[in-house]
Structure 1
């Protein structure tokens, strides 16, 4: 059974109202675009970026794939941010910075789930799976070497 891309696009547009995202249809699906602040740099400073979620649809299979990209806004000044240190939680990102990216995914995922679409994910989207696979391979390699040496 083929899924209706127009119905998904309409649902995503309704869900994106009141958010920083604009939704634009494309030949392969649609894009959600928002201007956001970058994650803080080493000095705690941020820049304005254009965050784009490209959604490619496969109506026959009822699947979709989301690809993200961030592009700095030309000539955007750095915004002051709080300085980070090891004691103050260096490396943590405030919720507001992450919210724009996760909100876009949530909008698409919720709309798609309600219409029966399935998201395809790359294994690289889940670093834990990749790390666990590499670790398992290393353990297996060590066991084989120990068995051969004994």
Structure 2
């Protein structure tokens, strides 16, 4: 069963109303674009960025893939933030309930799920796969070191 990209695009546009996102159709899907503040840097400063979620659709398979890009807004000044240190709570999460960009993923995922689309994720997006690969590599290094020593 083929899925209709136009229906998904219409649903995403409807869900994006009232959010900072603009939705634009592309040849292979669509993009959600918003201006957000970057995560705080070392001195707590944040910089305006253009956040783009590129959504590539495979209508025959009913799947989609989301790729994010962040580009600093040219000439935009940094905004002062909280200076944090170990004494003032360095590492505490900001009071904002969600990080910039998660709303865009939620909009796409909810609209797609309602129409039967499935999100395809890169293996690198799954922390368990990355951790297992890293652990496997460490074990391989240990075995090679033991063989060379014996």
TM range (shorter): 0.7 to 0.9
> Is the 8 Å Cα contact of residues 36 and 50 (structure 2) preserved in structure 1?
yes
> Is the 8 Å Cα contact of residues 39 and 93 (structure 1) preserved in structure 2?
no
- The unaligned stretches of length 5 or more in structure 1 are none
> Is the 8 Å Cα contact of residues 37 and 100 (structure 2) preserved in structure 1?
no
| Secondary structure at the counterpart of residue 36 of structure 1 | strand
Residues 1:93 and 1:52: Cα distance change in structure 2 (over 3 Å): farther
TM-score, normalisation: structure 1: 0.88
Normalized per residue, the structure richer in helix is: 1
How many pairs are equivalent?
150
Counterparts in 2 of 1:3-22, with a 5 A limit? Answer: 3-22=3-22
Matched, 1:29 2:32: no
| Greater CA drift, 96-105 or 70-79 | 96-105
User: Could you report, residue by residue, the CA deviation over 1:24-76 in whole angstroms, capped at 9, with x for unpaired residues?
Assistant: 11111000000000111111011100000000000001000000000111111
Provide the rounded CA distance (Å) in 1 between the counterparts of 2:95 and 2:120: 26
TM-score, normalisation: structure 2: 0.88
